[in-house]
Structure 1
Amino acid sequence: MSHVLEKRYRRLLRAYPEDYRAEHGEELIGTLLEAARPGARRPSLRETLPLLAGGFTVRVRATRAAGVPGWADGLHLGALVVAVLTFAQLPVLPYFNHKVWTALGVVLMVALVRGWMRVAAPVAAFAAVWTSRPIVGGGFYVPVLDLGPLYGDLAPVAPYWVVAAASAVLAVRRTGAGRTSGQARWWGATMPARSPWWLLVPPAGWALQLTQVPMWEPVWGVSRAGVEVVALLLVLAATLAVRDGRWALAAAVYLVPGLVYLAENLLMTSARGFLYWSVLTVLVVASLVAARRVRARA
């Protein structure tokens, strides 16, 4: 039984980074075999941490898009995160509001998930221009069509412009997942597809609107801050573990609309607000610095 387990564990170990295998390979095999024996003691913390770190590294490596540079992958991921969270907060329910706008958002998110950046770019650009009409037109607006929300401030339109800019850059890439095979159409993928699980984020946000609990309630603010801090800590850990800056770039793209909001509401921001934005900014900057240092060593 131990011989079979050892062969299996050695096969799994090949998925770990080479430097990790060289340093911890035999120790990892021994720990796994020891834990698999009947009545075996639980591995110590010193034995468990390398195992968890190696597993985290392998999982993070598996999320990297193949065939594209890190900057493109990070930009794509950042645009997708901003898009799904922006549309998840759109006031759609309990009454079905913004029907056309919601459908437009679904098209945009599907295009981003599938990597159809030549579809996503014009849709995102239209969304950014439409939401900015009161700003571009000096506040003058004639309600010709009731497609979606209009904003007179920079903060609400910033996410749309971030997605539009990132999509435009990725749409004009000369190489991409859909072009290498020579079978790509004009609307085909210029980026590898993402997990379809991303498409469940907006419906989950809309479902929460059925609870009729105001989104400005303290519980929502604290919950969102906690999720953001944990996510950015994972970004920093992934950057250091895999020695790749794509997640740091995605985090920076995600943070841009928030910094625009902070700048526009600087005089009205409380001490807790400054602390919140400071923590997020420090974590993103730390990830970017870590990515730069890792790249310099390579």
Structure 2
Amino acid sequence: MGHVLEKRYRRLLRACPEGYRAGVPGWADGLHLGALAVAVVTVAQLPVLPYLVFKVWTGVGVVLVVALVRGWTRVAAPVAAIAALLTSWPIVLGWLHSPVVDVGPLYGDLGPVAPYWVVAAASAVLAVRRTGAGRASGQARWWGGTMPVRSPWWLVVPPVCWALQLARGPADETVWGVVRAGVEVVALLLVLAATLAARDGRWALAAAVYLVPGLVHLAENLLVTRVSGFLYWSVLTVLVVTSLAAARRMRVRA
């Protein structure tokens, strides 16, 4: 009976919107999903409302998210690379130089720019891999979809978060931080459950990609991080490492 239920659950995971992609290796699917999650969360945190501070930058973020949802990694890769370079300009060339085009925030720390570089690197890897496959088959088009289309529900997240900025005051930062932490923990628990049930590591890889910018931020702020912060990152790290270990164990058994 348990074996039958497990098979049914695995079929359900394969049929879900963010489940298996036919013809796509697990590592590519997981990398794509992780990059999309990082991009969506980063764009959702932009200070859009009540005043549109960075109009062009918000548009760039929307283009990036849409490109990733549609699977256009050859479009997402250069957009993410430009965004990463512009935001980290003070780190790359120092405070004495300003970028040619100043359309968004500039950061002098690694933590805030890490998400942009993670998305740029992941998109570049996916674009290069699919470009080679497309050329071999004679069907390569630079603007076409190189990865399967993701669920359109991803596009809803940024507008909802922007709308919540209207109702959120400075005193609510702690509350929103707790809410986000709770959502992340629940999501990573689901990743672990899906990894064990489907015996596939793509969700674990996506979770690891999502965690990388946070760990960069933690490493850069170790001396000022509170105990609650260490506990928060420890829980997320343990869940991700456990999922990766479970995926590796399942692969060895297979």
TM-score by length of 1: 0.79
What secondary structure does 1:217 align onto?
helix
| Superposed displacement of residue 99, structure 1 | 0.8
**1:60 equivalenced with 2:60 (yes/no):** no
**1:83 equivalenced with 2:39 (yes/no):** yes
| Superposed displacement of residue 213, structure 1 | 2.0
Paired position in structure 2 for 1:129:
85
Q: 2 CA distance for matches of 1:144 and 1:172?
A: 28
Structure index of larger Rg:
1
Q: 2 CA distance for matches of 1:182 and 1:151?
A: 42
2:195 paired residue among 239, 255, 262: 239
TM-score by length of 2: 0.92
Paired position in structure 1 for 2:248:
292
- Counterpart contact for 2:131–2:140, Cα < 8 Å: no
Q: 1 CA distance for matches of 2:77 and 2:55?
A: 21
Structure 2 residue ranges without an equivalent (≥5): none
Q: 2 CA distance for matches of 1:175 and 1:186?
A: 8
Paired position in structure 2 for 1:259:
215
| Superposed displacement of residue 169, structure 1 | 0.1
Q: Percent identity among equivalent residues?
A: 76
Alignment map for 1:114-153 (pairs within 5 Å): 114-142=70-98, 145-153=101-109
Output the aligned Cα RMSD: 2.2
Structure 1 residue ranges without an equivalent (≥5): 1-18, 25-49
Q: 1 CA distance for matches of 2:67 and 2:54?
A: 20
Paired position in structure 2 for 1:46:
none
Q: 2 CA distance for matches of 1:77 and 1:267?
A: 32
Distance change in 2, residues 1:178/1:256 (3 Å): same
> What is the one-letter code of the residue matched to 2:11?
V
> What is the one-letter code of the residue matched to 1:59?
L
**1:272 equivalenced with 2:228 (yes/no):** yes
Aligned length: 251
Q: 2 CA distance for matches of 1:65 and 1:123?
A: 24
Distance change in 2, residues 1:215/1:70 (3 Å): farther
- Counterpart contact for 1:244–1:291, Cα < 8 Å: yes
Distance change in 2, residues 1:129/1:196 (3 Å): same
Q: 2 CA distance for matches of 1:216 and 1:173?
A: 44
> What is the one-letter code of the residue matched to 2:143?
W
